[in-house]
Copies of this chain bind each other. A is one copy, B any other.
């Protein structure tokens, strides 16, 4: 219901109305949602009520989906991160996916293009737990095979935040250096 079931948005590209001030605000909130409205107002030359009004609107329109606490995977007992490619029979759809989504260790499930069908992001207590998890995955009907990539180190992990113009960077349009030469050089598959 809250979904944009209309399908087509009237406004230009993405926008239920997100102006530059909103983007800056979102940038701050996506990095630290505990900032007070007073502090936010100070940072962008606005009064607390004005900030409150914008945040309220952004939540209602769904731009801000929710506010969550980010936990340290190591400290909560899930030090092992793995990306798992899953090959399925046919185009999986939901029955199998639902099963996978029920596993607590599975954080993300994406249906993708390429030489695999599903990409999972999972966190387990260790290699043994990962093996158990893979056993569960294989037990799901329709699963033909998996290919796991174990993360040795995470160099970066942030929200959609940075994509916004937090630090004044232009958001939507990437700088782009030499798009034609480099792009056509060798990425076509």
B75 close to A138 (CB less than 8 A): no
Instruction: Contacts A71-B64, A74-B186 given; indicate if A176 touches B135 (C-beta within 8 A).
Output: yes
Contact check, A132 vs B33: say whether CB atoms are below 8 A apart: no
- Residue in contact with A69 in the complex, picked from B26, B75, B135, B152, CB distance below 8 Å: B26
Contact call B70/A125, Cβ cutoff below 8 A: no
The 8 A CB mask of A127-141 against B (1 = contact, 0 = none) is 001011111101100
Q: How far is the CA of A172 from the CA of B132 in the complex (A)?
A: 10
Chain A interface size band reads 35 or more
- Whether A32 is near chain B, meaning CB under 8 Å from some CB there, is yes
- Bound: A189/B150 CA distance, A: 14
Residues of chain A having any CB pair with chain B under 8 Å: 4, 13-16, 18, 23, 26, 29-34, 61-79, 81, 83, 94, 97, 100-101, 103-114, 116, 119, 123-125, 129, 131-136, 138-139, 145-164, 169, 171-179, 182-183, 185-187, 189
